[in-house]
Amino acid sequence: MKRTVGLLCVAMLTAAPLAAQDSAPAESENAIVVTAQRSGAPMWIVETATGTVILVGEIRAIPKTTPWEPARLDEATRAADRVILGARPKISPGDIFRLMFSGGKLTKLPDKTVASEYLSADQWQRLQALGIAHDEDYSRKSFLITSFGMLREELRFNRDTADDASDVVKKAAEKADVAITRAATLRGEDVIDNLFEAPPTAHIPCLVAAMDAVEAGPGIVEERATNWRRFKIPAVMNNPLESALGQCWPWADETLGSELRTIWVDRIAEASAAKGTTLAVVPLRVLAEDGGVLDQLDARGFDIAGPPWK
């Protein structure tokens, strides 16, 4: 359950016009940019009238074998004026008790129904075949739990991983007393309500995408990370694992997903008006998807320096 709620590292952009850039960055800001870029993480640089915004495109669960240099991102963070990290849920003791005593609503299909009652014949046949291949009975399990379980157990995408960009930046900022802003703090009660209220059919696209990823094989895990490191952003976005994560809750939820995506609007707008350098760690899918942060900045006339994202 902690893993499920923990998937809420969120963000996106769509608000008031940002200030146009009309001056070159200070020499110290250029140094921070160069240091950050040496980390090997894909990032985009936006110059504003008062400073620089560095947008680091994050994917979660980077394999330890991926050749990037988090120490350089650590160094850049320590020199930044402020950092912005993704939203996080604020879980109370009451929320934990609620999950303990009502968790069956999340782990099982409702009212003793079975998967075949919701899925097409082809979808059910695929799910059955995967269940037989991996010695699992998916007939009564929640589609969301089944999807996450498939990705975790069959692809093992979150095993043997290094610190994510968010982890690196958070630790460095705390040690250097750099101001940290969260894109938002979500009430645990609201997050849990959203999960409980979603019908099984809402999670079918997630299940189908997870089956696609599992059928594609574990090689997609390394491939996703390799393309991330090589700045092949469209290839990362089209990777079956990344596609599956984007099709699942909370990103695919019409209410919560939409709300989470708009959170970055205010944060980036504020950063564009602030003096100095802001380093923001943003989920890559939020940055690079159609109509995402980078598309919106580009539409407003900003000169964005960084790898092609489409």
pLDDT per position as a tens digit, 6-57? 433 333 322 333 333 333 445 556 899 999 999 999 999 998 888 999 999 9
Helix (H, G, I), strand (E, B) or coil at 46: strand
* Band of residue 219 on the pLDDT scale cut at 50, 70, 90: very high
DSSP state of 25: P
What pLDDT was estimated at residue 269? 79
Strand stretches in 126-205, DSSP E: 179-182, 185-187
Query: What average pLDDT is seen over the chain?
Result: 84
Listed in sequence order, the residues at least 6 apart from 299 whose beta carbon sits closer than 8 Å to its beta carbon are none
Distance, CA of 253 to CA of 238 (rounded, Å): 20
pLDDT per position as a tens digit, 117-175? 999 999 999 999 999 999 999 999 999 999 999 999 999 888 889 899 999 999 999 99
Q: Output the pTM of the full model.
A: 0.83
For helices 219-229 and 204-216, give the axis angle rounded to 10 degrees: 90
What pLDDT was estimated at residue 107? 86
307 compared with 285, residue with greater pLDDT: 307
Phi, psi of 71 (to 5 degrees): -60, -35
Amino acid at 303: D
pLDDT per position as a tens digit, 67-108? 999 999 999 999 999 999 987 766 666 655 555 556 567 789
